[in-house]
Amino acid sequence: MKVVDLSHTIYEKMPIYPGTLPPTIRTGTTVEKDGFYEREITMFSHVGTHIDAPAHVLETGKTLDQFPVAKYAGSCCIVNLAELNSKIIDLDFLIGFHCIIEKHDFVLFRTNWSLKWGTDAYFEDYPVLHQEATKWLAGFPNIKGVGIDAISIDGMDSKYLENHRILFEKDIIVVENLKWLDTLPFKEFSFSCFPLSFTEADGSPVRAVAYIPN
């Protein structure tokens, strides 16, 4: 089995969603002075590759700690948008993937936007699901989560975060800022995105991983 890390490394000057404070990472103790080495990390819950919980935008939405741990692992498929001419992912396009989506727990959208990580272009003009397509996707009873290798499943100009809300109403989690989806050799594989375990988690950085059979 091949294991592929789909997560961005967390560091102090990493790209962050506009308006969010960057993480700070400092040395708390050293072997020389204290006999052991520890780092102190301060960061928002949606830094880097992360999960959004329904509570992120819904007042009565569930937090990540309210879901069983099985919520964060399962079978997965990729929808390739890398050669899509339009920046809007409409229902007519997405419906062609019906047969594969209905078989899996997670759907990841490959846009190749992760290749722009670290540049201003990462925050601009990435493909976004049309609300009609998102509603159709949320209608699958098997779907645990939807992920994308871009900053958000909503456009940067969205104030209401419509796509988030549509998915969250069905308790579907959202995984953002994935990477290396363009390197995966198969359309179907196993996937996990386990969050940090803390109370009232509106979101959490994750180590998203793909498991590719030999």
| Contact by Cβ (8 Å): 88, 118 | no
Q: Which SS3 state, helix, strand or coil, does residue 182 take?
A: helix
Q: What is the pLDDT of residues 31-89, one digit of tens each?
A: 999 999 999 999 999 999 999 999 999 999 999 999 999 999 999 999 999 888 889 99
| Contact by Cβ (8 Å): 64, 200 | no
4-12 average pLDDT score: 97
Strand residues in 43-90 grouped as ranges (E): 50-52, 73-80, 88-89
Structural domains of the chain ordered from first start: 2-9+44-212 (3.50.30.50)
The pLDDT > 90 percentage for the chain reads 92
Q: Which SS3 state, helix, strand or coil, does residue 26 take?
A: strand
* Alpha helices for 74-190 (secondary structure H): 91-94, 98-101, 131-138, 162-168
* Closest C-alpha among 64, 17, 46 to residue 172: 64
| Contact by Cβ (8 Å): 110, 77 | no
Edge-to-edge strand ranges of the sheet holding 209-212? 2-5, 209-212, 188-192, 73-80, 106-110, 145-148, 173-176, 50-52, 203-205
6-11 average pLDDT score: 98
pLDDT of 75: 97
CA 23/CA 65 separation, integer angstroms: 22
108-134 average pLDDT score: 96
| Contact by Cβ (8 Å): 16, 122 | no
Q: Is 168 exposed, middle or buried (0-12, 13-18, 19+ CB in 10 A)?
A: buried
Q: What is the pLDDT of residues 168-190, one digit of tens each?
A: 999 999 999 999 999 987 778 99
pLDDT of 214: 81
| Contact by Cβ (8 Å): 77, 108 | yes
CA 128/CA 154 separation, integer angstroms: 6
Give the confidence band of 92 by pLDDT, cuts at 50, 70, 90.
very high
Over 90: is that where the pLDDT of 90 sits?
yes
Over 80: is that where the pLDDT of 22 sits?
yes
